[in-house]
Structure formats: C-alpha cells, structure tokens
C-alpha cells in the first residue's frame, strides 16, 4: 500500500507526534504534565450544555443538516457580530457554519488554490496554513512575524512575483503561538494589499474572545473594505471551551462563501443542527459573564507562569490574548526542539518547540495555559529547577 505523493510532502501533525511521545513516557511511569496542546481544560458553559440537551431531544435536528446552516444559526451569528464587533452581516449570504476552524481553513485551500498558486502564511503560525496548501498541490509562502513589528508580517516586503501568484493570505490575531494582538494599521494594510493583488484575506479568529487586561479584540471585517476582500473564521473552541464540539462559522465576502459552500456540499454534510443551535446560544449576552470568568482564570495562570519564568531569568511578555506564553529558550541549547526534548526528559513536562511553528519560531518555546493551576505551578517549578 502506497500513500499518496502529496501526503509524503507534509510532516506528521505536530500534536500527533507529541501525543505518541507523551504516551511512551506515561507508559514508563513518568508523571507527565502536558503544557503542549491548547485544549481548554474546563467545561463548556452550562447554558450551552442545556441548549444542546434540549436541541438533541428534538427530532427536527436529527437529519442531514443543511450545509448553509439553520436560519437560527445564521441569524444568531449575524446578531452577535453586530453586538460584539459592530459588523453587519447578511445572514442569507454572509454566514455559514463550519465543522471547526481547522476544517474550514483546510477547505479554503481546496476552494481557492490551484497548482502553481500561493497562500501567504505566517511564520510562526498555525500548522494548517502551511500543510493545507501543500496537500492541495499548491505552495505556502511563509511571511516571518517580526517582534519589532508587533509579530505582524511585513507586507511591504513580499516580492512582486509572489504577490502575482498569491490567492490567499492567512492571519490570526490574537495570535497563536506568539500571543500578540493585532498592531494598529495592520488590517488596513491587508485590505489594500488584497485589493491590489486580488487575494482573499482569511482572518482566523480562534482567540477573539480570549483576551485579558481589558483588551477587546477587533474583527478584521470592521475594517473599511474588508468584506470586499476577505472572510473571517470564528470558532467556539477556545473562548467557549468547545473544542470537542467542532463548531465554527465562516463569515464575510458572499462570493467567497458561495464558493466555499459549493466545495463543502461535495465534501461533507454539514454541522449537526443540535450543535448549531447550542453554538448560537453561546453567543447570547448572558453568556458573556461565563467568558469573563474563564478569562479571569487564564489571567491568573498567565501571571503565575510569567512571574515564575521572569524569576528564573527568562525574558517574557504578558500576552493580552490567547492561551499561550511565548518565551525564548535559555542559552546553551542548539534548537527549541532540543530544549523541549530536554524539558520532557528531565522534568516530565511537555512544552512546544517554537521551531515547529515555522523557522522564525526557532529560539522560542510555547506554554499552553490549559492546565489546572496546581499542575501548571508544579510544571513551571520543575522547569525552573533544570
């Protein structure tokens, strides 16, 4: 049996590999603490659980869902976008459900790229921005996220021949893995670039609701002209503790959504309607308090980790959003992978090597805050002692 040529062109998914290593350590009796994957450890909010229980008991949700989404879903998301971001969306043409942001982002590659085309992706960045284009026979061109530009790519530095081939531009603020929030003026630059070169802008909003210290993340679509050139992928996974539910929405440019719908209706059969109904329940104003409580917990964990690392001499910033701490590896290690291997071997703590998010992530490691406080403290203490 010979897997496809295209499959040989991508590495194993980052966390698939990590899961294997953790299992081996645990089997050997090590008390492993995983600060690797960003998967919220707390339960989905009670209002949402109650909503899905009610929805699942209604036989009207049991058949094949429509790929376009139920009216309640499209209207609920549009209402939320207006209330939360000041963005007006036509529920008929500018909102659709997706089976998680990961599925959505992968499928955008199938919908918009041909061989020879380019997707502009960030380095470091979410692995699907690079694996996706490769799997569909196109190319991801990496734009380094520079700390002095606020971890935004230098769009002026993209060569003209690359822009001529580019069909997609991925960006993600609040940002995984760096924890950065969008620098002033970046969204406006994206609109200008995408307009000039006929590129579809894809704003990945996985962390829009996970922010701290009073920071409120804006939508790309609130930028003048953004809806003419772009879409936004909103996900319930991180902000609502719903990673297992596979709930996301793609919103924005109606032509792009129409292409995405055509593709999707040939690939999958949509998002379970009980989940669509529960997902929009999460967007009602009374759930905001749950999100705020959750963010207070992450703020406490963030401070605990940053203070411990700072005390250990690591130069690290307190992020205003996401569930990650992005910090430089100590001197004396050849690579972030070597440092993370060392931490796993000697301390039984899993952290993610920055280099696995792209070459510009080399020299950094990422800690996820999705572990209870006591385990998080213990892990940081073990790392400090090394």
Ligand X SMILES: *Cc1c(COP(=O)(O)O)cnc(C)c1O
Cβ proximity to ligand X: between 235 and 371 the closer is 235
SS3 53: helix
Determine if 368 is a binding residue for ligand X (CB under 6 A). no
Provide, rounded to whole angstroms, the least separation between the CB of residue 155 and ligand X: 19
**β-pairing verdict for 352-353 and 248-252:** unpaired
Q: What is the DSSP string of 120-176?
A: EEEES--THHHHHHHHTT-EEEEEEEEGGGTSEE-GGGS-HHHHHHEEEEEE-SSPT
Work out whether 101 is an interface residue with ligand X (CB under 6 A): yes
From candidates 237, 241, 276, 352, binder to ligand X by CB under 6 A: 237
Selected from 84, 102, 281, 302, the binder of ligand X by CB under 6 A is 102
Please, are residues 207 and 174 in contact by the beta-carbon 8 Å criterion? yes
Query: Which one of 232-240, 254-262, 292-300, 336-344 is the stretch in contact with ligand X (CB under 6 A)?
Result: 232-240
CB atoms near residue 139 (< 10 Å): 18
- Which residues pair with residue 251 across a beta bridge? 95, 232
Count of residues in contact with ligand X, rule CB under 6 A: 14
- Interface with ligand X, residue 172, by CB under 6 A: yes
DSSP state of 319: -
Q: How far is the CB of 352 from ligand X (least distance, A)?
A: 12
Q: Is 169 in the site for ligand X (CB under 6 A)?
A: no
Q: Least separation, in Å, of the C-beta of 2 and ligand X?
A: 30
Name, in order, each residue with C-beta under 8 angstroms of 71's C-beta and a sequence gap of 6 or more.
91
Range in contact with ligand X (rule: CB under 6 A) among 96-104, 218-226, 312-320, 326-334: 96-104
Binders of ligand X among residues 17 to 46 (CB under 6 A) are 38
Q: Per CB under 6 A, does 356 bind ligand X? A: no
The site string for ligand X over 110-149 (x = CB under 6 A, - otherwise) reads ----------------x-----------------------
Half-sphere exposure for 72 (CA within 13 Å, toward CB): 16
**224 C-beta neighbours (distance < 10 Å), count:** 9
User: Is the peptide bond between 298 and the residue preceding it cis, with omega within 30 degrees of 0?
Assistant: no
Q: How far apart are CA 334 and CA 107, in angstroms?
A: 36
109 lies in the binding site for ligand X (CB under 6 A): no
Strand 118-123 to 166-171 pairing:
parallel
**Closer Cβ to ligand X, 91 or 100, answer by number:** 100
Q: Taking CB under 6 A as the rule, does residue 204 contact ligand X? A: yes
> Can you give the binding site for ligand X, defined by CB under 6 A?
38, 100-102, 126, 172, 176, 204, 206, 235, 237-238, 243, 248
């Amino acid at each position: 049996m010979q897997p496809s040529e295209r499959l040989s062109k991508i590495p194993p998914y980052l966390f698939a590999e990590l899961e294997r290593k953790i299992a081996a350590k645990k089997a050997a009796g090590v008390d492993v603490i995983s600060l690797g994957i960003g998967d919220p450890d707390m339960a989905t909010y009670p209002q949402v659980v109650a909503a899905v229980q009610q929805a699942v008991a209604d036989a009207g949700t049991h058949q094949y869902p429509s790929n376009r989404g139920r009216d309640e879903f499209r209207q609920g998301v549009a209402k939320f976008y207006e209330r939360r971001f000041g963005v007006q969306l036509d529920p008929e043409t500018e909102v659709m459900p997706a089976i998680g942001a990961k599925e959505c982002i992968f499928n955008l590659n199938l919908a918009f790229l041909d061989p020879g085309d380019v997707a502009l992706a960030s380095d470091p960045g979410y692995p699907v921005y690079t694996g996706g284009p490769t799997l569909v026979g196109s190319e991801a061109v990496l734009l380094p996220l520079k700390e002095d530009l606020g971890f935004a790519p230098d769009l002026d530095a993209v060569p003209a021949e690359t822009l001529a081939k580019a069909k997609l531009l991925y960006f993600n603020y609040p940002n995984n893995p760096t924890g950065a929030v969008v620098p002033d003026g970046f969204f406006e630059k994206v609109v200008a670039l995408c307009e000039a070169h006929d590129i579809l802008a894809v704003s990945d909003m996985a962390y829009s609701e996970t922010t701290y210290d009073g920071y409120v993340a804006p939508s790309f679509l609130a930028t003048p002209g953004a809806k003419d050139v772009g879409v936004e992928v909103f996900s319930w996974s991180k902000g609502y503790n719903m990673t297992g539910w596979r709930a996301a929405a793609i919103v924005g440019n109606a032509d792009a959504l129409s292409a995405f719908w055509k593709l999707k209706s040939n690939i999958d059969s949509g998002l379970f309607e009980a989940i669509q109904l529960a997902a929009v329940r999460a967007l009602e104003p009374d759930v905001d308090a749950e999100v705020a409580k959750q963010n207070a917990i992450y703020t406490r964990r963030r401070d605990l980790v940053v203070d411990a690392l700072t005390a250990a001499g690591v130069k690290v910033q307190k992020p205003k959003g996401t569930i990650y701490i992005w910090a430089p590896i100590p001197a004396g290690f050849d690579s972030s992978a070597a440092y993370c291997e060392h931490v796993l071997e000697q301390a039984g703590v899993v952290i993610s090597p920055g280099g696995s998010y792209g070459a510009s992530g080399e020299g950094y490691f990422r800690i996820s805050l999705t572990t209870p406080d006591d385990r998080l403290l213990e892990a940081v203490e073990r790392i400090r002692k090394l």
